[in-house]
Amino acid sequence: MNQGLTVKTIGIGALAGATTALLCLGLASGSMLAVLLFFISPVPLMVAGLGFGLSAAVTGAIVAIAANYVFANVFVATLVALAISAPACATSYWLNLARPADEVGGPEGQLAWYPLADVLFANALFTALAFVVLGAMIGFGPELAGELATRFVARLQEINPEATLSPDAVGNLRDFMLTVVPVAQPFSWMLTLTLSIYIATAIARRSGLMKRPHDDWPRALRLPRPAIIAFMAAVLLGFVSGGIGHAASAFSGALGAGLAMAGLAMLHARTRGMAVRAGILVLAYVAILVISPLILVSITAGMFGAGRHFPLSPSGPNKSDLNRTH
């Protein structure tokens, strides 16, 4: 739904942006609740965009970025701009796009909506780029990783004064952070964005704000085939030392998260109708949490299951009203 730039969309967008800003600024309190609320900070912007058009989402993004610039700092404002506002605005715009299904090989008289797979691929790229920029801003590298390791050890000793780590152990911790952080942060944020999409579309649909039909997530949560090439290239470049390797790790982390979710979605789809479905799913998730390398199995499955699913809905009488293009 696209209502253009009106007083109504500006007001709704500003309210959504203020909500996102508060969810981000609350992170400074350090409470667990604030952290959990920060993870859904893209939702207000997405709902505004899904229900009232891109102009509402962009208005909200401007408000959120400005508020964090004024009340926090440039780094936080950049994070809000690149990791939250950009994907939220783009996602809400793309999810409102549709075209006649027969133009993409579907049945006549139906609308084919922009595939979720392409949205997730774009969000993975947004996420990786955001963390590359943020990492460059803070000068992420061996020195910063060493500082983080030292602070971690100091904090550990505050909690348990008897805890001691040898210089070699501190060095290993630094190397671990240097390797894992560039992958783990984009990976976790990609999961956050995907959860936000699920929540935002559910809210917009139940509120009667969007025309897009319900996405069958077990079937639709995939990445398109070009994402596989991008992921493999990022993994290979991740072995390069220095900034190039760190940047590539950010892309492999974000794309890896998308593929891991796709692999698990395939499991959800394949176990439909089984009496033991709940047990299989619980066992799979617990196994991944306990034995983290098992996530590679899900990533591999996601690679083999790459594709695009177009949700369909009956065509309206006036095709000229469609947001076309995919």
Residue 319 confidence class, pLDDT cut points 50, 70, 90: very low
Q: What is the pTM of this model?
A: 0.91
Q: Nearest-CA neighbor of 97 among 259, 313, 261?
A: 313
Q: Which residues pair with 313 in a beta bridge?
A: 111
Question: What is the token pair recorded at 118?
Answer: 């392409």
For 247-281, b/e burial (b = at least 16 CB within 10 A) is bbbbbbbbbbbbbbbbbbbbbbeebeeeeeeeeee
* Residues 211-254: tens digit of each pLDDT: 899 999 999 999 999 999 999 999 999 999 889 999 999 999 99
Rounded CA-CA distance 137/151 in Å is 20
Domain assignment present for residue 288? The answer is yes
Identify the pLDDT of residue 229: 97
Domain that holds residue 222: 117-187+215-310
Residue corresponding to tokens 């203020």: 18
Lowest mean pLDDT among 14-18, 187-191, 305-309: 305-309
Residue 277 host element (H or E): helix 277-290
Residue corresponding to tokens 């739904």: 1
pLDDT average, residue stretch 177-200: 95
* Residues 94-119: tens digit of each pLDDT: 999 999 998 888 888 899 999 999 99
Sheet holding 312-314, edge to edge: 98-100, 110-113, 312-314
Domain assignment present for residue 241? The answer is yes
Contact 299, 259 (CB under 8 A): yes
In terms of pLDDT, which residue wins out, 159 or 289?
A: 289
The length of the chain is 326
Residue corresponding to tokens 């982390």: 253
Domain assignment present for residue 35? The answer is no
Identify the pLDDT of residue 146: 79
- Which residues, 6 or more positions from 268, have their beta carbon under 8 angstroms from its beta carbon? 217, 218, 281
For residue 279, give the DSSP letter. H
Domain assignment present for residue 167? The answer is yes
Question: What is the token pair recorded at 204?
Answer: 């917009």
Rounded CA-CA distance 264/214 in Å is 19
* Residues 125-170: tens digit of each pLDDT: 999 999 999 999 998 888 888 788 888 877 777 787 777 777 777 7
Identify the pLDDT of residue 321: 44
Please state, for a pLDDT cut of 90, what percent of the chain lies above it.
73
pLDDT at 323 over 70: no
Domain assignment present for residue 259? The answer is yes
Domain assignment present for residue 2? The answer is no
Identify the pLDDT of residue 149: 81
Q: Other CB atoms closer than 10 Å to residue 60's CB: what's the count?
A: 33
Identify the pLDDT of residue 112: 94
Identify the pLDDT of residue 318: 46
Identify the pLDDT of residue 173: 82
Q: Which residues pair with 100 in a beta bridge?
A: 111
Overall domain count for the chain: 1
In terms of pLDDT, which residue wins out, 9 or 326?
A: 9
Residue 64 confidence class, pLDDT cut points 50, 70, 90: very high
pLDDT average, residue stretch 258-285: 96
In terms of pLDDT, which residue wins out, 322 or 273?
A: 273
Please state, for a pLDDT cut of 70, what percent of the chain lies above it.
96
- Which residues, 6 or more positions from 291, have their beta carbon under 8 angstroms from its beta carbon? none
> Cα-Cα-Cα-Cα dihedral of 192, 93, 43, 39, to 10°?
20
Average pLDDT, the chain: 91
Domain assignment present for residue 99? The answer is no
Q: Nearest-CA neighbor of 132 among 38, 244, 6?
A: 244
Domain assignment present for residue 77? The answer is no
Amino acid letter, 194: T
- The SS3 of residue 30 is coil
